[in-house]
A and B are shown apart, each in its own frame.
Chain A
Amino acid sequence: MSSVTDVKDKSPLANLGDSGAYQKLLAFASLIALLIGFSIASPNFMQTSNMIAILQATSVNGVLAVAATLVIITGGIDLSVGTLMTFCAVIAGVALTYLGLPLLFGVIAAIAAGAFCGLCSGTFVAKMKIPPFIATLGMMLILKGLSLVISGTRPIYFNDTPGFDQISRGSLIGEVIPALPIPNGVLILFLVAISASYILSRTVLGRYTFALGSNEEAVRLSGVNTDAWKMRIYALAGGICGIGGILIASRLNSAQPALGLGYELEAIAAVVIGGTSLSGGRGTILGTLIGALIMAVLTNGLRVLSVAQEWQTVVTGAIIILAVYADMVRRKKSG
């Protein structure tokens, strides 16, 4: 037995934070390969403005993917991240445009709405024992409907709230380093990612997130109040979707109530490409970020090469299958 364990111990997978390291490396290598490939194919690709456009495009999907990662590591799934984002944007619109509240209140309202909806999903899953797929599918439709109801099916514009569009489109970094006008939306994505990564690796909540995905019943029988922790994780994910709602509303300077469907699948795709296991217990935020970047680079690069939009979707689908297949092959090899 000892000889077997010795060998296993040499693997870099020994540390929990590093699980999926190979996949991350693979994903990172694919990202670099894509960047090099597209720069050779088109001189317009490697422009600063285009790079920034890619990052900007990553910000919303990236934030949603971070939220989805948390839930997926518990062994669940969250299909409501897209329409929750829209719902939160609409709530921000109600607070700022309809009620005329100050900017900060709008932001807080959106995040609180997100956390509350996440808590609802969490309650359905943890207390009512509804499978996460069904619970969040229901939530997805409820939120889509509510967004349309609250907004009267019309977009809510933020023209009366000066500075709202700067949340995403402004550039604090650009003011300090004019040559690097990275939009605030990207900055926010990185802040969200770093916080989520910290929570996952350094806090009790994070440790239980992995433990739930690894073996929920064992955790429950260890005397841990698994229901309560699970609800917290869904609420946290919901709050992060609220931030996503602010980002998209700010970027469009409006809350578009019809938007949102389909975002959840792109977020889940980013999570999967980033090496997080859909069966739970394994995954990293860094992987998810790389996954989101790969999707954005791909979309952008294909557009720069004038590939039709329809084909971009086909390629994205193929990439997801390839990424997961590579992970399977890797895992089979390492036994």
Chain B
Amino acid sequence: MSKLVEMTGIEKYFPGVHALKNVQFDIASGEVHALMGENGAGKSTLMKILSGIYQRDGGELIIGGQSVSPTTPGEAQDLGIGIIHQELSLMNDLTAAQNIFIGREPRRKFGRLDEAMLNAKTAEIFGSMNLNLDPKVLVGSLTIAKQQMIEIAKALSFRSNVLIMDEPTAALNDAEIAELFAIIRRLKSEGVGIVYISHKMDELKQIADRVTVMRDGEYVGTVDAVETPINKIIAMMVGREVNEKPLEVPNLGDAEVSLKVSGLCRGKDIQDVSFTVQRGEILGFAGLMGAGRTEVARAIFGADPKDAGKIEVHGRQVAIQSPSDAVKAGIGYLSEDRKHFGLATGMNVRDNIALSSMDLFSTGRGVLNEDKMAETAKLFIRKLGIRTPSDTQEVRLLSGGNQQKVVIAKWLLRDCDILIFDEPTRGIDVGAKSEIYKLLEELAAEGKTIIVISSELPEIMRLSHRIAVMCEGRLTGILPGGKETTQEDIMQLATQREAAMRVAETVQ
């Protein structure tokens, strides 16, 4: 295999930080080369150097046999380097074709656009990807997976022979991931080299040929993706072995039912959902993307309105119209999207911890007791092991795992004993993940009631004492946690579509 890109001895400094230290990386034609490492390991910095967003301070970058130094993304594109960012950068109000050729629209005389040509060229690219999509469709009307395909088409339209994908499956469900992998394999067979950045180990095994691991801005090593055991890759990433304890399902006996939801409905998203959770229990919610799990959580929490349904907390029926009602009833919700729905990112750790409980820190006239806030914040920083230089650090500067802990601290301080975690480890490093898991288990052992929504089956199976499975807005079943339940059992319930169920019923 010929080398498309070779990076050796790469150095990068930011003010006060030695971000990359003597890093090496290469991409061969027709391979998927996974780049792994915890957040802050330097993966993105390295890829930004390759794609011309940053300039290196040392080392050599060879593309197609020539030593080069792209200084803008445009120059890198001309060298055949395409990058698909984790956060999609598409214009929702333009069509697929208009997005793909933005800034390079085919023109006719007097600056008029040649829409026909534009759509024809786009159709050609879609055809080469075996993608069945209308070039004239509005991007905003597509699913995230399809939008991702359009990003890929855009990168290909530059005739890229190296494609960098930064966590491309973060927002995709299993079917969509399979679709993406089919396209990756096709590109591979055409000789394109792909850099694949992901935190998901199982994906790696499916799609990658080689794995390069980075840690703290340094190159750790490159190994074969198929032959190397996952444990070893994780050990390379965190610098130590991570031992996962097997799940022990506690015997809750007749512990109090702390949350009872019955007949919860909202349009097509939530159809007659009923369940109970006991004190000290972790109830997992599994299902495919769009199964309605987040919708159920938000409806219970009062973040969205509901059509019908009764919610009882500790045996008492509560009327929850808004998040503030839910919090009064002792229910806290930790959103999957911490940046948008969980944290006031511009504010510091102390303020974020106190955000739900300002009344605890104020006098009758609404004056804040800053000392007491600081004391409380420091208490939680110690108790939850939040890694931050101080309680006045802005939360946006913390890592994902520590941000999540700040949100947890917020709810613990508010004395919420029913906590709903929506994708608690999304965007969190492998090492920090097991810390969050441990924390959830400790909370349950202390007598909190925990609901965990997760799209990652291993996570659901690792945590849940019982597993509720949803499909298309309906609760299709509740399975016991632990060894008796397999991924297949869950998937069967998660794909139990209504039409199929009706057929099954008539047969019976």
Contacts and interface: CB of A to CB of B under 8 A. Distances in A.
Interface of A: 1-9, 13-16, 19, 202-208, 210-211, 213-215, 217-225, 281-282
A223 B341 contact: no
B397 interface: yes
B407 to A, nearest CB: 9
A220 B323 CA distance: 7
A86 B426 CA distance: 53
Interface stretch (B60-68, B189-197, B274-282, B387-395): B387-395
Interface in B313-341: 322-324, 326-328, 332-333, 335, 340-341
B356 interface: yes
B410 A222 contact: yes
A222 B301 CA distance: 10
3 tightest A-B contacts by CB?
Answer: A223-B327, A1-B40, A7-B16
Given A3-B17, A14-B394, A219-B344, A204 B368 contact: yes
14 contacts: A1-B39, A5-B388, A9-B390, A16-B392, A203-B366, A208-B358, A213-B346, A215-B341, A220-B322, A220-B323, A221-B301, A221-B333, A223-B327, A225-B324
B356 A224 contact: yes
Given A15-B392, A211-B347, A223 B398 contact: no
B94 interface: no
Interface string B9-44: 000001111100000000000000000000110000
B368 A202 contact: yes
Contacts of B303: 220-221
Contacts of B397: 4-5, 8
Nearest to A220: B323
Contacts of A8: 393-394, 397
Interface residues of B, number: 52
Given A1-B399, A15-B392, A206-B368, 4 more contacts: A16-B392, A210-B344, A211-B351, A211-B355
A282 B346 contact: yes
Given A221-B341, A222-B355, A6 B399 contact: no
A23 to B, nearest CB: 15
B326 to A, nearest CB: 6
**Which among A3, A214, A215, A218 has the greatest number of chain B C-beta atoms within 10 A?**
A218
B352 to A, nearest CB: 9
Contact of A223 (B340, B354, B414): B414
B355 A219 contact: yes
A282 to B, nearest CB: 7
B343 A215 contact: yes
Nearest to A212: B344
B39 A16 contact: no
Given A2-B387, A7-B17, A202-B368, A222 B362 contact: no
B174 interface: no
Nearest to A215: B344
